[in-house]
Amino acid sequence: MNKTLAPVRIALVGYGSMGKELERLAPQYACHVEQIFTAKRPLSSASATDLNFDVAIDFSLPATVLENTRFLANHGKNIVLGTTGWMQHKDMLAAIVHESNIGLVWGTNFSVGVQIFSHLVRAAAEFAERFDDYDVALHELHHTRKLDSPSGTALSLAALIQDALLRKTTLLTDTSHGRIAPEALHVSSTRVGETPGTHTLYIDSLADTIEIIHRARNRSGFAIGALRTAQWLRGREGMMEFSEVFPKLHI
Instruction: Give the sign of the dihedral formed by CA 19, CA 24, CA 28, CA 34.
Output: positive
Among residues 137, 144, 148, 116, the alpha carbon closest in space to that of 214 is found at 116
Query: Exposure of 220 by Cβ count < 10 A (0-12 exposed, 13-18 middle, 19+ buried)?
Result: middle
> Which residues are known catalytic residues?
142, 146
Contacts of 12 (CB under 8 A, 6+ apart): 19, 22, 23, 33, 35, 36, 37, 56, 57, 59
Judged by DSSP in three states, 103 sits in: strand
DSSP state of 104: E
Q: Which residues contact 16 (CB under 8 A, 6 or more apart)?
A: 59
Helices (H), 87-136: 90-100, 112-128
Phi and psi angles of residue 72, each rounded to the nearest 5 degrees, phi first: -65, -40
